[in-house]
A and B are shown apart, each in its own frame.
Chain A
Amino acid sequence: MAIKEPQLKEVILESGIEVKPIYRPHDIAHIDYERDIGEPGQYPFTRGIHKYMYRYRPWTMRQYAGFGTPYETNQRFHFLIDHGQNALNVAFDLPTQMGLDSDDPLAAGEVGRVGMAVDTLKDMEVAFQDIPIDRISVSLTVNAVTPIILAMYITVAEKQGVPRDRIRGTTQNDILKEYIGRGTWIFPVEPSIRLIGDTLEFCAREVPRYYPVSVCGYHIRESGSTPVQEIAYAYCIAKAYIDEVLDRGLSVDDFAGRISFNFDIFGNLWEQVAKFRAARRLWARIMKEEYGAQQPDTMKMKMIAGGGGSGLTIEEPENNIVRGAYYALIAALSGAQTSALCCYDEAYTIPSAKASLISLRTMQILAEEMGLCDTVDPLAGSYYIEWLTTEMEKRIVAEMRRVDEQWGGIVNAVSQGLVQQEVARQAYEYERKLQSGEIVKVGVNKYRVEGEEAPPEVELHEYRPEAMEEQRQRLEEVKRTRDATEVEAALAEVRDACQSGRNVMPAMLRAVRAYCTLGEITSVMKEVFGTFQEPVRI
């Protein structure tokens, strides 16, 4: 007697891939271990960029932190380091990210709100007081004004006695994604790419252990893209930066290995793991086959994989702690070099100390209690994961081709607002599926108890408005005590470097050392470069 097969619900991933209920050996028969997967630490690095991965060293844990004045931020840094965090990810306030001083009228109400305020080198000196920056790797989340902030960081390191060739860390410094999502752009596209080229070139020559650019699929995904688009657009962007530097006569092996990536985690667990494995393989292939890289390091896709805010909910915020734990698990199963989690309270405001600590503890528990460091790439060889990894890679390649063929390349697509439009359309589509219940969010569109709209009993970070006044006073003090003649001369050199097209970094280093303010330097740059005119398309 024939057994009646049950009617199963169709499963289609966000990337458009249809999932079968069962995978078998023949689904991966076309995959060759040596060619497509490879040993961990060997081309094409599908299994990870190091031979022993977490067995040798667990991933770096790096919660995003910073608020108020540099003094307050310095305290939070020490709090996180005291609790076992081994790296820092610095949040700057919006005026700093937009090149405005704390006393600028446009900065009113925003000073120290979503990150720490930086006006001059003095603030960076305070923020990194007693932080051993030769041992703690520091990530600076800054984009449009990177040359200035990087110059400050290098100068702080030198003042601490750390020579340039021993400075470690990362600046985000990915402007193309800022036009797509996150929005802290200042200058037009072309000079912005040139400035990124300047930092890559300068660091390749002078600060060789530093990662000057972290290309962010993360914010593209957070703005609404699919996981496939996240990787595809990030890779198109990374290639645009590489092409800029190649035009200056450096070889790809001189600098491309110092470009890292920042990717997003939320949504389907298997899809994310396959996304990261596919991304690693594809980047290695692009660097080797398309760019002719010779050094394995150039082919290794190094990433921070972060638990994304888009997966978290304002409803029942404690559930976000559970979501964060699964995101951390995904990062660990995906071979991320660094991980960070959005905290459970971030749908309300920037995280409290308690929320940051829970995120850090989540990762520590995973690494130290659950066996995630025992063996490399534990999902390798799974019929489903290997099949899905290959499917994701194919779709990422197709999306990259679309950017080039339909949109005339990523630089054009961003300048014209085409990527932005596509991502916004995708965001709307996702939101509608969420609101119709097609995509389930527990406690939001399923199992929601109507009428229970009481505010959550979680303690939130409180903004301290006095931070602005304190910051302004310190800025005033710095301006009063600096050498005005050197300030003038240094700003003139910045202008000249921007106009002449030579690398801006030496001029930036002189300017920050003279305690020129971030706003003063940015104003000079705006005068030379102009500002970006946003193509508003929806």
Chain B
Amino acid sequence: MLPILIGEAMTSHRPIRVLIAKPGLDGHDKGAKVVAQALRDAGCEVIYTGLHKTIDEIVQIAIQEDVDVIGLSILSGAHLPLTEQLVERLRERGLSDVIIVVGGNIPHKDRPKLLELGAAAVFPTGSRLEDIVAFISQKGERQ
């Protein structure tokens, strides 16, 4: 199944393109779908991968779709290894400028670790949609 584009350009310049991705085996997708709808309403072009994607598949889609931001949604607890893999693969493909944000069930103590690994921001369960939208709107803008 190909990922689908679920947002429309709402501004005259190129809208921010965001890939909402569900890596690994975790099947909890409510948060991913809620954030996808919020970003779409805010004018972003949002692509959602669907469940059970490998990091390689996610990177492939990110390249195909030329995204500015990848939002990883992880609720299984495997956020550290999965984020690390994504950062590595993006670096290998010369895509280090793609912004990575991580959401899901993330204990406090892991947040600095995720930032250290290369995530630009962490939005754990309970984050405000407006904060996510504001961050991505600001950071996702192409320099």
Contacts and interface: CB of A to CB of B under 8 A. Distances in A.
Nearest to A454: B108
A524 interface: no
B105 A347 contact: yes
Interface stretch (B10-18, B93-101, B120-128): B120-128
A109 B82 contact: yes
B126 A113 contact: no
A133 interface: no
Contacts of B29: 181, 183, 223
Interface string A454-474: 011000100100000000000
A223 B30 contact: yes
A424 B1 contact: no
A350 B1 CA distance: 31
A534 B33 contact: no
Contact of B1 (A182, A224, A460, A536): A536
Nearest to B47: A536
Where chain A touches its partner, the secondary structure class is loop
Interface stretch (B49-57, B64-72, B134-142): B49-57
A347 B76 CA distance: 11
Interface stretch (A76-84, A407-415, A428-436, A506-514): A428-436
A455 B4 contact: no
B25 A536 contact: no
B34 A314 contact: no
Contacts of B37: 424-425, 428, 538
A301 to B, nearest CB: 26
A183 B52 CA distance: 9
A432 B30 CA distance: 13
A108 interface: yes
Interface residues of B, number: 40
A94 B51 CA distance: 13
B25 A428 contact: no
Nearest to B131: A435
B30 A106 contact: no
Contacts of A396: none
B6 interface: yes
B105 A536 contact: no
Nearest to B124: A314
Nearest to B26: A94
A224 B28 CA distance: 11
A180 to B, nearest CB: 10
Contact of B51 (A107, A224, A432, A534): A534
B78 A109 contact: yes
A349 B128 CA distance: 20
Given A109-B24, A183-B26, A431-B129, A536 B38 contact: no
A108 B81 contact: yes
Interface in B57-94: 76-78, 81-82
The list of the 10 closest CB pairs from A to B, nearest first, reads: A183-B27, A455-B108, A94-B25, A109-B81, A314-B126, A424-B33, A536-B50, A428-B37, A534-B50, A109-B78
Given A428-B33, A460-B107, 12 more contacts: A94-B76, A109-B82, A181-B30, A182-B27, A183-B51, A314-B124, A349-B105, A432-B129, A435-B130, A455-B109, A535-B1, A538-B48
